[in-house]
Chain A
Amino acid sequence: MAHHGLLISSGLRVATAGGTLLAVAAIVFILMRFVPGDPVLNWLGTSYEKADYDRLRALYGLDLPLLQQFMIWFVNLLQGELGYSVLTQLSVSEELWRRLPTTLELILLALAVALPLGIGSGIWAAWRYGKMADHAVLTATLLGISLPEFFVGAILMLGLALQWRIFPATGFEPFSWSTEHFAHMVLPALALGLPRAAVICRLMRGSLLEVFGRPYVRASLAKGLSRKMTLFAHGIRNALIPVVTVIGLQVGYLVAGAVVVEKLFVIPGVGAYGLNAVTARDYPSIQGFILVVAAIFLIANLIVDLLYLWLDPRIRTSARGPSR
């Protein structure tokens, strides 16, 4: 009975995510068509042949009625076909697919920094509430959430790469299980992960402090469990639940931050691609980029939602999502 509810809830979540992605795709398509100015004129520049103009319009299907354009585009989308970049004439989907692992690796490394550091320090600060350690953590995290990612990256670069030459400053080595590759990823991962760690730390601390005031913690102590045992057996898991839901939101910020970090450290990921596309007004590429980013954080939120289902048995019986 309980497992049935779990399956249905999970299924609903997946379906919702898929539906949202399609909705995003549709919105993106419509928005792109509303951009002021003629895109073909943008690409061609000031002097052009009419024949070229007509050819390009026909090539990109811009001379067809809007609805037909949408149908063609939608069908292509379902097949994973995202068109061709105006800038490079290369397939958008191929290019994004090639760069995706790099960006994903960056995000995962940043999470590997942010989650243990954030959750760990949050627990520690809550445990030592009111004492020096707590104040120190609060101050450090206040700074952490106020520092922009690119500044953190810049300082790290200045200090660890340029001044003391511990890590390479910019550049990227293709993926391999080697020090060369990871040496280039350390600073970017830190730049991306440290500000997130500060946010997560505060969340965890706040959540745990709230849990400390709950009746079941007092009941656990009354049962004879020591403070430490109560923390590990009952406190942390309950405190993690609201934190997990917010981490899903944090992934959105992580993706945005990845764009920044990729630019700063010159890493050829999805973010760098999108940025170039925006500067060049390369619409097919922009569309592809938006879709990929949307997909990443929708999937991340989906994972978080499913995780939440697993963590909190109370909502398994209701099909609706948690009120975040």
Chain B
Amino acid sequence: MNTKQAVLVVDDLAVDIRGAAVLGGVSLAIHQGEALGLVGESGCGKSMTALAILGLLPRGAQMRSDSSIRLQGAELVGASEQALCKVRGGAVGLIFQEPGACLDPVMRVGRQIGEALQLHRGLRGAAQQAVLRDLLVEVGLNDTDRVARAYPHELSGGMQQRAMIAMALAGEPVLLIADEPTTALDARIASQILDLLDRLRRDRGLALLLISHDLAVIGGRCDRVLVMYAGRAVESAPATQVFDAARHPYTTALIAASPGLAGVTPKSPLRDIPGQLPAPGGGRDGCAFAERCTLARSSCGHRVPAWTPVAAEHAVRCLQYEEGWSC
């Protein structure tokens, strides 16, 4: 067990939208300085998890009352809006997929970062400017004057994302949540941004929740990986074990379908996963992956598998391990 303190503990997080379950009991824990990768197809609920942690659910979405989200011991579920506002952009920073769209197009970038500095650290005027410059340099935007005075559309995609990271750092967070931070960026820039996140994690001792549908992104950068499918977590393992010794059928399929992983050569065909993600709330009594799973048995459609440990710090939701199938 990791002896470092747990920064974020999520227990049984469940979210419904208009009665249909979009998140069905997700649990995770991130420790100080640790990077947890959250991976899964589009629509599996990864982004929803991130938003739920900060209480930023869209209209019509309801968190179930038995969910628990504890940040450094303090319970966030049921907390007042005021308390949540302190956490957002403060103890927890959040960066999104399309940085350009996430910046106010008619406000200068420096001022937008300044907003966070004023809000969370009460900095104004010259003091704010000084810290702003430091932040910009820290994220690799060295031409601080130009960037601070620029409007978002005047910056490149990579620079916009760096600016967003600076904004997230303004509140001196202990946890940084990055929701698909590189999906909209060029491969080269994406790699730079991920390196930046790595560096920040080491320098500041940040915990990082990295969300992506791309296993290659999660691959070398995270300590632990949580695989999600249709609103539930199905496998939780240290990063090394996930790629070498994945246990859940979905995880293995995901790896097989990812170019650049698991020894897939340019000539070999990519193995697609047949079928589609089920729609939320589709009367699920059993494992959501059952209909697409090559190993599924009849019992898979009746029971949601419970977490079954299969190795050190490695657990899986799959009946074949829970019931101990022999093959």
Name A's B-contacting residues (CB within 8 A).
214-216, 218-226, 233-234, 237-238, 241, 311-314
Whether B85 pairs with A225 at a CB distance below 8 angstroms is yes
Given contacts A224-B89, A225-B115, contact A215 B101 (CB under 8 A): yes
**B88: nearest residue on chain A (CB-CB)?**
A224
| Residue count of chain B within 8 Å CB distance of chain A | 30
Residues of B within 8 A of A312 (CB): 105-106
Residues of A within 8 A of B81 (CB): 226
Whether A215 pairs with B90 at a CB distance below 8 angstroms is no
Minimum distance in angstroms from A159 CB to a CB of chain B = 41
Q: Is B193 an interface residue (CB 8 A)?
A: no
Q: Is B17 an interface residue (CB 8 A)?
A: no
Q: Is B64 an interface residue (CB 8 A)?
A: no
Q: Is B167 an interface residue (CB 8 A)?
A: yes
Residues of B within 8 A of A224 (CB): 85-90, 116, 119-120, 171
Residues of B within 8 A of A219 (CB): 94, 96, 102-103, 164
- By secondary structure, the A interface counts as helix
Q: Is B54 an interface residue (CB 8 A)?
A: yes
Residues of A within 8 A of B74 (CB): none
Whether A313 pairs with B106 at a CB distance below 8 angstroms is yes
Residues of A within 8 A of B105 (CB): 216, 238, 312-314
Minimum distance in angstroms from A238 CB to a CB of chain B = 6
The CA-CA distance from A77 to B136 in the complex, in Å, is 59
The CA-CA distance from A312 to B119 in the complex, in Å, is 25
Q: Is B137 an interface residue (CB 8 A)?
A: no
**A233: nearest residue on chain B (CB-CB)?**
B115
Minimum distance in angstroms from A247 CB to a CB of chain B = 17
Residues of A within 8 A of B103 (CB): 216, 219
Q: B293-311 CB contact bits vs A (8 Å, 1 = yes)? A: 0000000000000000000
The CA-CA distance from A220 to B102 in the complex, in Å, is 8
Whether B116 pairs with A223 at a CB distance below 8 angstroms is yes
In the complex, which residues 271-308 of chain B have their Cβ closer than 8 Å to any Cβ of chain A? none
Given contacts A218-B56, A222-B54, A314-B151, contact A241 B167 (CB under 8 A): no
Minimum distance in angstroms from B107 CB to a CB of chain A = 7
The CA-CA distance from A219 to B168 in the complex, in Å, is 10
Contact of B102 among A215, A226, A237, A314 (CB under 8 A): A215
Given contacts A222-B56, A222-B88, A223-B88, contact A216 B119 (CB under 8 A): no
Whether B101 pairs with A214 at a CB distance below 8 angstroms is yes
Q: Is B186 an interface residue (CB 8 A)?
A: no
The CA-CA distance from A215 to B80 in the complex, in Å, is 24
Residues of A within 8 A of B94 (CB): 219, 222
The CA-CA distance from A160 to B223 in the complex, in Å, is 76
Whether A313 pairs with B119 at a CB distance below 8 angstroms is no
Give 7 new A-B contacts, CB below 8 A, not counting A215-B98, A313-B151, A314-B106.
Answer: A215-B96, A215-B102, A216-B103, A216-B105, A224-B90, A234-B107, A312-B105
Minimum distance in angstroms from A236 CB to a CB of chain B = 11
Whether A223 pairs with B119 at a CB distance below 8 angstroms is yes
Residues of A within 8 A of B221 (CB): none
**A315: nearest residue on chain B (CB-CB)?**
B153
Q: Is B104 an interface residue (CB 8 A)?
A: yes
Minimum distance in angstroms from A143 CB to a CB of chain B = 28
Residues of A within 8 A of B96 (CB): 215, 218-219, 222
The CA-CA distance from A215 to B104 in the complex, in Å, is 9
Residues of A within 8 A of B86 (CB): 224
The CA-CA distance from A56 to B135 in the complex, in Å, is 81
